[in-house]
Chain A
């Protein structure tokens, strides 16, 4: 090829298409890949030869490019550092691949995937530089299109996330507000009952209202604890029993009956909290109210355990025992206990604690609660 190329030197304008027999030269001429050769031994590394594909790509005629340095392809937006890299490689006699923004004769920009290779002889002397060009504008545009799309999608997602977050914040605020309302309303209900009780002269009527107030108080305790864990769906039964027995112990003078608590950490679903609270409230308040008359001293035991995947609550007093208790009131308390047990699908086993009464409430725990 070198002999043929040296011949081109003499007449750069000549169309050499027809009289080059060398297959490599013919390939060089015919290929649709734009290519050129430059001569680094001449000042400014001028173009020695270009193929038709190069001329088609760039829009120049052979006469316009032969003998010139390739920099005529650069333009105002060409990246200067890419140019610098090419210059340095050429100066060092090395090859380089890079994408560079180039300009056609009519000013159209295109992205040029440029591959420059030094051509050396057997003695490793640098003869020429051989450069291929490839128009990758399509890919580049697709790339930047992709980047733009990605950026706008990210912005969309970010805005959507903000909207969702603010909706969630609003719902959470509403939930807090609702919880606050419920608690306040329970306080109002309790106040209504107690205020009325104060105005009644008949002690039995007062007693009846105070009974109601106590049950409201049990429900109030449920709600006070219901959201405190931050999770509205579960209810800390152990904490509740501690609170409840503490509250009910004030039914008797302090110190008369010692409260013994044996509570394992157990949580139940919020739906069970209210009926369970009312049930235990009946058991414990009965013990305080009826098992220890005439300043009888004693001990009340409340146990909470989870044997074999069931829930077990034990309320045991060492007082005068159920048989000795005169039937009082209208039996509503006992009815309430049975009804609530039914609602909870719980079993209540009564036994004589000798002395005193032992009530054991056994309840199934469903699979979800077992995880608590």
Chain B
């Protein structure tokens, strides 16, 4: 991968999903700075570890607080990607996030998201139709086939 490693925060309440994602991201050459399961943990970890990017599930241990996490983190300059089975919950203003990965996602979906965020075009493969990862601005990646 021709990019510098990102410091990534995982905000997910299902520990197994979080751990596998951590491995996946590490395989892709990035560093996972923490796993948070609730709003408070997410904010605390973010302030303590200063990640570049956060994968944020909407449903956490303290309810659908992922939206608030996204708002807070993106306000602090962290690139936020939603990771959720429930894309309908995402508010109109997207809470500052850059895209959403629909669950259950595949490794390809995560890699697409990473490619988008690191904006290295050689990683972006030409797609057919439909995909796991949907960027929110629609025009940067040629893989954006379906709006949220």
Contacts and interface: CB of A to CB of B under 8 A. Distances in A.
A191 B128 contact: no
B131 A220 contact: no
Interface of B is mostly: loop
A246 B23 contact: no
Q: How large is the interface on A (under 10, 10 to 19, 20 to 34, 35 or more residues)?
A: 20 to 34
A176 B64 CA distance: 14
B23 A180 contact: no
A184 B103 contact: yes
A17 to B, nearest CB: 87
A195 B14 contact: no
B106 A221 contact: yes
A293 B21 CA distance: 30
Contacts of A187: 14, 17, 85, 103-105
B14 A188 contact: yes
A243 B104 contact: no
B130 A242 contact: yes
B61 interface: no
Nearest to A243: B130
Contact of A190 (B23, B86, B104, B128): B104
Given A186-B104, A220-B106, A246-B127, 12 more contacts: A183-B85, A187-B17, A187-B104, A190-B20, A191-B19, A195-B23, A198-B23, A224-B104, A224-B105, A240-B130, A242-B130, A247-B106
14 contacts: A176-B86, A176-B88, A184-B104, A187-B105, A188-B17, A191-B17, A191-B21, A194-B20, A220-B106, A221-B106, A224-B103, A224-B104, A224-B105, A224-B132
Interface of A: 176, 179-180, 183-184, 186-188, 190-192, 194-195, 198, 217, 220-221, 223-225, 238-240, 242-243, 245-247, 249-250, 254, 259, 261, 263
